[in-house]
Amino acid sequence: MIEKKIALVTGAMGGIGTAICRRLVQDGYTVLATHRPGKEDVASKWLEEQAYETDTLKPLALDVCDTQACQTVLKSVLETYGRVDVLVNNAGITRDVPFKRMNIEQWNDVINTNLNSMFNVTQPLFQPMCEQGSGRIINITSINGLKGQFGQANYAAAKAGMIGFTKSLALESARYGVTANTVAPGYTATPMVTALKDEILESIKAQIPQRRLATPDEIANSVGYLASDEAGFITGETLNINGGQYMH
């Protein structure tokens, strides 16, 4: 049994995922950072950029859309490390298009990656967390799962589903010392967003009372808090980080 706490982060190599991994490493976790199978070269380059030792930050090939693969890989993780203390479900994609033109592939791609992955990754780890008497499950949803967004019926449906899933999981796990919460970022300064044209970025900022984007570190800091002992009495909640753009 390894004494150092173990965290597993899906969608680890995007802008928010990278910041979450960095925060959890700083907090003393060994972090298992998932990537798509066959992308080992991308994962190796990403790991080199992070400049952490491989015993602190470890790439993990995992297809979050493959139920059987998740069961197999995560069983191996538990055999190797003895436990997982923190699970961050962050994997997500977009396939934006107005619903009247949306096809079933665009719908299914987003639902499978953003919502069905929650079952695939969480289910093999949930009972072991309950049996060990502690754990943190943190799911990264979105402001658009709360308010909706034009052209994102698939994405908003998946992100809203994450919130319902998390509340139900929180009720089942509370007696075992396992918490389940969601973080709902607003527009965040990831490389994908900051690559937008200046006029589009300015129009986005104009919708936000603070007149700026969130930083990835601000999202990661909320994950670090929810993973900490200080957040032990918080479960079933959604932490909104959107600069006042949507309050409810």
Low-confidence spans in the chain with pLDDT less than 70: 1-2, 54
pLDDT for residue 196: 80
Domain boundaries, the chain: 6-237
- CB atoms under 10 Å from CB of 188, counted, come to 22
Strands 57-61 and 30-35 come out as parallel
How many Å separate Cα 5 from the centre of its chain? 18
Question: How is 36-90 classified by DSSP, letter by letter?
Answer: -TT-HHHHHHHHHHHT--TTTEEEEE--TT-HHHHHHHHHHHHHHHS---EEEE-
Q: What phi, psi does 223 have (nearest 5°)?
A: -65, -45
Q: Comparing C-alpha atoms, which of 245, 189, 246 is closest to residue 213?
A: 189
Q: What phi, psi does 137 have (nearest 5°)?
A: -115, 120
Answer whether CATH 3.40.50.720 is correct for domain 6-237. yes
pLDDT for residue 191: 83
Marked catalytic residue, from 29, 155, 187, 246: 155
Residues 6+ apart with CB under 8 A from 224: 23, 24, 26, 27
> Is residue 179 within a helix (H) or strand (E), and if so which, with residue range?
strand 178-185
pLDDT for residue 248: 83
pLDDT for residue 180: 98
- CB atoms under 10 Å from CB of 66, counted, come to 15
b (16+ CB within 10 A) / e for 160-174 = bbbbebbbebbeebe
Answer yes or no: 155 catalytic: yes
pLDDT for residue 1: 44
pLDDT for residue 131: 97
